Structures are given as structure tokens and as C-alpha cells.
Structure 1
Amino acid sequence: MTKLPVAAGLALALVAGSALAADLPSHKAPPAYIPPPPTFTWTGLYGGVNIGYSFNAGGAGWGYFADPLLLSGATWTANPSAQGVIGGGQIGYNYQYSPWLVIGAEADIQAADINSQQNNWMPSNWFGGLAALNTNKYVDWFGTVRGRLGLVMPSYPNLMVYGTAGFAYGYVSNTVSVANYPFAAFPVPFAQTGQTTSGNTNTGWTAGGGVEWTPMAFPAWSLKVEYLYTDLGVTNQSFFSVFTNTATNFTAANQSPTRFHTVRAGLNWHFNPFASAPVLAKY
């Protein structure tokens, strides 16, 4: 009979303990740390490819025959319309100075098929004749090294409008052939002819601007559309024109500017090897 009261007491003690435990405050584990999404920035290195089209930006060339014996000759002007497809690659670095300002530098190199051919006939003051002029210009490749200054609207951090300017260089080839034909009646037909070819790496300057956009779903990539005006200076050529019957040499000269517009589209891949690794909270 003594076991029953003892068992009943133990049961009451267990029930009371459970009730007291239910009244104690509970403690939950802290939620897992979820880092905020990274803030978009243009800062970092990038490299990419581009393709576009270049076309003549004007600037007439000129030339002349100088005939010291007859005190006459021929002068001409020429404005060949050089144009062609270009394509190449670029590499650069951006630094986002503030939410709305990006500064940077970029270098690019382009393979080019910019060329022109022009044939002109013009009156000559050499016995009332005609002068024939043939000009050929080729830009085989060119490159630039430029600074960039970009503006960003904080509400559209992945869209940048920028201006750019800097140094330009490229290989320019010019060939000029001329012939001066008199109309006067001479016993034997004759003419004054000459030709010169020049190929050099010219230097100059370039300036322009563009728009670059990064899709937020692919923040390591960007697309750009860009315009550049490029001036590679003036090519001066001096040569001899030959008086065909007497093989007498007379001085001739030609001057040809190389200026062109370029419109191109590009794709860039952005990376920043100098960025610090993300810090993860520990508990």
C-alpha cells in the first residue's frame, strides 16, 4: 500500500515541473546572415572587341607641276573619299570617383580597310592642255590611346555616357601619278609625267564619345556604341615629273590630309583583380 502514494507523488512532481518549464522564456537561434547585394560599380579593368565603319572627314589635297623652263605647269586639288570597315580590340581601366562620375583610360588597335581611288582631269596652263591626276590612299591599321570621362545617373548606375580624346597613330599609304599633256601642235607628241608612293606610320589625335551599358543580370559584361574623329596629319610628297621627249626632270609635289570619322560597336568584359574578398559574418 505504501508504493501507491509514492508513485502518485512522483507523477504530480513531473506534471508540476512540465508546467513550470512551459512558463519559462524561450530563446531562438539568430537568423542566418544574408549579405546585401553588391553595389554596382564601373571601377576595374576591362577588355573587349569592336567592329565598325570609317569614312572620310574632308580636307582637300593639292599638288602642282613646276616647269622652270616654260614658266608654266599644272595645279590640282583632290578630295578622295576614303572609307571602309574596321575592327579590333580595346583594353582599359575605369575608376568610379563618385556615384555620377567615372574617369578612365583606354587603348585600342584596329585592322582597317580604309581606302580611296580618284581620277581627275583638269585644265592645264601648259600650252592650253590637260593634266591627269590619279590618287590612291590606304589606311591599313590605326590605334589610339585616350582618356575617358563618364557621367552616370545614380538612378541608372549601369548606364554611362562618356567623352574621350587622346593620341592616334596609323599606317597611311599614298600613291600619286600625274601627267600633263599640251594641246599645241608639236612635231612629236610629248607629255610631262611623274609618280610617287609614300607609306609611313603617321601620328595625330582623336576625339569623340559614346554610350556604354551593362545588363544588371550580367554585371561583368557591357555593350557600347562609340564615335571617333581621327586626324592622322598631312602627307607631303615631292617627286620629279619627266619631260618625255628630253628626259628632263621637273619638280612636282603633292599634299594629302588623312582625316576620318569612325562609328563602331563594342563588347567589353569587366574584371577587378584588385578588389578585396568579401567578409562573411561569423557567429
Structure 2
Amino acid sequence: MIRALLLSSALSLVAAGTVFAADLPSTKGEPVYAPPPPVFSWTGFYLGVNGGYGGNNVSFDSQEDEGGAIFEESREKLTSSGFVAGGTIGYNYQVPSSNFVLGVEGDFDWSNIRGDLSEGFSDDGGSEGAGVGSRLNWLATARARIGYAVTTPFGNLLPYVTGGGAFGNVESYSYEYDDGEGESESFGHTWAGWTAGAGLEYAITPNLSFKAEYLYVDLGKHLGDSEYLGADIYDNVYEHFTANIVRVGLNWKFDWFAPPPPPPVVAKY
């Protein structure tokens, strides 16, 4: 009888302790819901560097007038090639709830794209000749860009097309030599034209991207000085500079106007 009474008392104490413990406040922290990572966007200002290689034909179209009528024409072409390197500034705007990206971009590149066209011959152990040349000293562009953002298992890509204005400083020169002695003349001019191309940009991180692009540049056809270009027998000499440029670059995007991430959601009971 006493044993049964003691066992019953012990069971009552255990049950009471369990009920009391259930009423105590929990020492565990409140569960926190972590929101998914923000969706990547191309929107933002960016600065970058670029470099590449370019080249094409520079043409010289010569005309001889007689009484206001052109009775003789000729065309000479020289092959130009060289490197470009410089900086980039731009802004992208990704249309909300869309993959379309609109942007503007400007760049300024130093250049050594150049080419020469010369003729010479030897006579009685000596040599003489003459030639003309053209060198692009710098190139600047101001372009619009239209792209379509693509998300792949390898990351975020932005294929795009681009086009706009181009500005370049072209230095034209001529030279003559006779038995090792020669003279040269040159003059520079800044021309405006147009450019168009396409490219692909890859987001390495949310702020750093790598791009590769192709540009065709046409600085127009301009009347030059026939004397400086070594074509004294012609009355008019026109110079036409074009270039095909392939370059790569790195851009850093600034999230100055990006909205802050949403605060974590805390579940309350």
C-alpha cells in the first residue's frame, strides 16, 4: 500500500513538472526567413578600359581638271593596321520586367593605325622614290546600344548592337628621297563620321563585366591638299579613311541608384 502510494506521488510530480516546463518561455531565437538573392540587373553607370586591333584600306582619289571638266581620275589604296587602347564611360537601363537593355556609351582611344604607299627605283647604284601615308592618332565614339539580357547556366550575358558618331584625328604625310637624302611633309585634321557594330558582354560579378566587340568606322571622304599628298599633277585629291576594329574591355558598374535589398522577414508566433 505504501509502495503504491509513493509510486503514484512520483508520477504526479513528473506530470506536474512537464506541464510547468511547457509553460516556460522558449530560449530559442525566432526563426528568420532569408529572402532569395536579388535579381541581376544591367542598369547603372559604368566606367571601363578597352584595347584591340584595327585596320583597313585608306583610299586616295585624285582628279585632274581642265576647264572645269574632270578628264583624268585615279585611285590609290594603302593598307593600314595598328592597335587602339583607351577608356569607356556609359549608362545602361534594363527595362523593368523585361530583358531589353538600352544604353549610351562613349569612348576615347589612342591609336597607331597607319599605312604607307611608296614607289622607288635604283639607277647607277643610287635610289630614289616617294610615297604617301596616313596615321590615325586618336579615335572617339558616341554611340547608342540596344541589348537583350540572357541568363544562362554560365552567367549573365548581354549581346548587343551599337551605332553612332565617330571622331578621329588623321595625320596625312608624303615623303621623297634621293640617294639617302629625303624630305617629308605632313598635316593633321580631325574628321567626323559614323560607326556601327555589335558585341557581347559577360557579367563576371554584379559589378564587373567583360566585353568583346566589333566596330566599323567611316570618317568620310575629304578633300586634301594635293601638294602635300605628293600628287602635284592633280588638282584635287580626296582621302577616305575607314577601319575595322576588334577590341575587348572591362567595365565596372556603379549601383548608385539601385534599391536597397528587402529586410529579412521574421516569423512571429
- Is this a same-fold pair by TM over 0.5? yes
Higher strand proportion (structure 1 or 2): 2
How far did 1:74 drift? 7.2
2:191 corresponds to 1:208: no
Say which of 215, 224, 232 aligns to 2:211.
224
* TM superposition score normalised by structure 1: 0.72
- Structure 1 CA distance, aligned partners of 2:243 and 2:251? 24
Other-structure match for 1:44: 44
- Structure 1 CA distance, aligned partners of 2:263 and 2:108? 42
Q: Is the 1:67–1:250 Cα contact (8 Å) retained in structure 2? A: no
Distance 1:23 1:60, change over 3 A: closer
SS class of match (2:33): coil
Cα distance per residue 1:197-245 (max 9 Å; x no partner): 4311100000000011013xx221111110000011123124459xxxx
* Rg comparison, structure with higher value: 1
Other-structure match for 1:276: 259
Letter in 2 for 1:222: S
- Structure 2 CA distance, aligned partners of 1:173 and 1:60? 14
SS class of match (2:132): strand
Structure 2 stretches lacking a partner, 5+ long: 1-8, 121-128, 177-183
Other-structure match for 2:33: 33
Other-structure match for 1:237: 224
Q: Is the 1:176–1:254 Cα contact (8 Å) retained in structure 2? A: no
* TM superposition score normalised by structure 2: 0.75
Say which of 247, 251, 257 aligns to 2:240.
257
* RMSD over equivalenced CA pairs, Å: 3.5
- Structure 2 CA distance, aligned partners of 1:16 and 1:250? 119
Moved more, 273-282 or 102-111: 273-282
How far did 1:63 drift? 1.5
How far did 1:278 drift? 2.7
SS class of match (2:149): strand
- Structure 2 CA distance, aligned partners of 1:113 and 1:280? 53
Distance 1:115 1:59, change over 3 A: closer
Structure 1 stretches lacking a partner, 5+ long: 1-9, 122-131, 179-194, 242-248
Distance 1:250 1:206, change over 3 A: closer
- Structure 1 CA distance, aligned partners of 2:217 and 2:242? 6
How far did 1:17 drift? 3.0
Say which of 159, 168, 171 aligns to 1:170.
168
Other-structure match for 1:149: 146
SS class of match (1:109): strand
Letter in 1 for 2:189: N
Distance 1:77 1:196, change over 3 A: farther
Alignment of 1:1-283 (within 5 A): 15=14, 17-21=16-20, 29-56=29-56, 58=57, 60-64=59-63, 75-97=73-95, 98-120=97-119, 134-155=131-152, 158-176=156-174, 197-215=186-204, 218-239=205-226, 252-281=235-264
How far did 1:176 drift? 4.2
Distance 1:116 1:12, change over 3 A: closer
Moved more, 155-164 or 202-211: 155-164
